[in-house]
Structure 1
Amino acid sequence: MQYALELKNVHYAYHTLEGETYALKDITFSVREGEFIALVGPSGCGKSTLLHLIAGLLTPEKGLIKINGSYHPDNTSGIGYMLQKDELLEWRTIYQNVLLGLEIQHALTARSRALARALLTQYGLNAFANAKPSELSGGMRQRAALIRTLVLKPDIMLLDEPFSALDYQTRLNVSDDIGQIIKKEKKTAILVTHDLAEAVSLADRILVLTSRPATIGQTVNVSFSDPGLSPLARRNAPEFKTYFNLIWKELNPDE
């Protein structure tokens, strides 16, 4: 089987004048095409560093990262990255913001413009295409950021706590919304989150990282009796509490 993503014995350390800070140690896992993975672990354990390595923003000191069957790909345009903030440019309209990545990649064509319009329509933002980001709610802004990523047709989506800047109620609704969109688009996704409930509600599999230098302490396969449940509906399913408690105990063994 060819995986969308494979990491084999990946190590990484930060180097400063004061010495080395080991962030990741012997990280090995694979992700199937269309699978949704969540990474959880103690604060500062290296979750975001792991995303940076996958995105090609950092290079492993040891180990290999394989994307769509190729090691060390020179072109990482097949990877989409959503950050904690939407990073929409306030002086551009929502439509212009959605086109930004295409402009940077010199991929702005009639076909890509049509796709941008279709995605805005499909996900309820076409009426706001000419609005400025300041005119939209936090949830709508994050949806626009997702469309900006989807229009690039990424093979793998990296989500670095994309809902953390939202208030709790909005966060629930937006994570449900974006989770369903990612599933509908059949995208491979890796989510970094501190919110265990969010991980259980969204993921097919959860990797629990240890404290720094992080290793994979446990892998939890997430399965519900009704596979068609939305992320929000999962929170009310009987299996939800079992998974939540399992991961909580793994992260807090002394409690």
Structure 2
Amino acid sequence: MCSILELSNIDYIYHTKDGETKALSNISFTLSNGEFVAIVGPSGCGKSTLLSLICGLLVPSGSISFMGHPLQSKDILNMGYMLQKDHLLEWRTIASNVQLGLEIQHKMTPENLAYASRLLETYGLADFAAKRPSELSGGMRQRAALIRTLVLRPELLLLDEPFSALDYQTRLNVSNDIGTILRQEHKTAILVTHDLSEAISMGDRVIVLSHRPGTIRSIIPISFDPGLTPLEKRNDSHFKSYFNLIWKEFNQNE
């Protein structure tokens, strides 16, 4: 499997008038095409900073390569970013929210509009295309936000705790839905989360970061039957072993 992303010896320091804070230290890993990597670690260890470096919002020491070349500002057009909040615009319908990125990038072609409609149909939102965001549940809104991202056909998805604002039951269902969708669409993704169970059920590998400055304590391969959904993986006999292994790393962090 070819590499889509490569980070080598990444450091990052925040500078303020009161001094400097080292957020990340010596981060190196690669991400293969079609792979889903989850990043976990204690609060303040630099997980979200790492996503900002990958999409070019911050400039690190070290090197980042994307699709075989050094990261460039134009590469952000080949990345999709999902945040904790869906940021759907209330004055627009769900269909027009999904099309927002296409409008901004001047890509409102018949082919892309048909693709947007297909995604809405495939993932259960076609009947809500004319609704406003306030008329949808939290889970449906997150699905709409994901479709808005997918319709631009990004090579890499960056997911910054996209389920953390949801209640527990909704979070389970939405992470299951979105994990399944990303597998079906064969998308490459990096998920930042505090939820170890979420990381194990969605990721092909889990990267465990230390306390600040964040360093890689371990990279744990995750292997389940490929036919299982994220929710089904939580009931698999191997799930507890993975959880205990990652929990042990967290205890070492403490």
TM-score range, shorter chain: over 0.9
Displacement of 1:106 after TM fit? 1.6
Task: Report if aligned partners of 1:160, 1:193 keep a CA contact under 8 Å in 2.
Answer: yes
Q: How does 1:154-173 map to 2 (within 5 A)?
A: 154-173=154-173
Q: CA deviation at 1:209?
A: 0.3
Instruction: Supply the distance in 2 between the matched residues of 1:19 and 1:74 (Cα, whole angstroms).
Output: 28
d(CA) in 1 for partners of 2:73, 2:84: 26
Give the TM-score of the pair, scaled to structure 2: 0.97
**Which letter does structure 2 place at the counterpart of 1:72?**
L
The AA in structure 2 aligned to 1:196 is L
Aligned match of 1:51: 51
User: Per the alignment, in what secondary structure is the counterpart of residue 149 of structure 2?
Assistant: helix
Confirm or deny: 8 A CA contact 1:2 1:69 kept in the other structure.
no
CA gap 1:83/1:251 in 2 versus in 1, 3 angstroms = same
Aligned residues: 253
Distance 2:37 2:3 in 1: 13
Look up the SS of the partner of 1:158 in the other structure.
strand
Deviations along 1:6-60, one digit per CA (max 9) or x if unpaired, are 0001111110000111001110000000000000001010000000111111111
Offset at 1:254? 7.9
Tell me the residue number matched to 1:29.
29
Q: CA deviation at 1:95?
A: 0.4
Separation in structure 2 between the aligned mates of residue 15 and residue 254 of structure 1, nearest angstrom: 25
Q: CA RMSD in A?
A: 1.1
Match of 1:201 in 2: 201
Question: Secondary structure of the equivalent of 1:252?
Answer: helix
Q: Structure 2: 5+ residue runs without aligned partners?
A: none
1:233 paired to 2:227: no
- Taking the aligned partners of 2:253 and 2:190, their CA distance within structure 1 comes to 28
**TM-score, scaled relative to structure 1:** 0.97
User: Counterparts of 1:58-207 in structure 2 under 5 Å?
Assistant: 58-60=58-60, 62-75=61-74, 76-207=76-207
What CA deviation, in whole Å up to 9, does each residue of 1:42-93 have, x standing for no partner? Answer: 1010000000111111111x11111110102231211000000000001100
Distance 1:130 1:53 in 2: 37
> What is the percent sequence identity of the aligned residues?
64
Structure 1 stretches of at least 4 aligned residues deviating more than 2 Å after TM superposition: none
Q: Tell me, which stretches of 5 or more residues in structure 1 are unaligned?
A: none
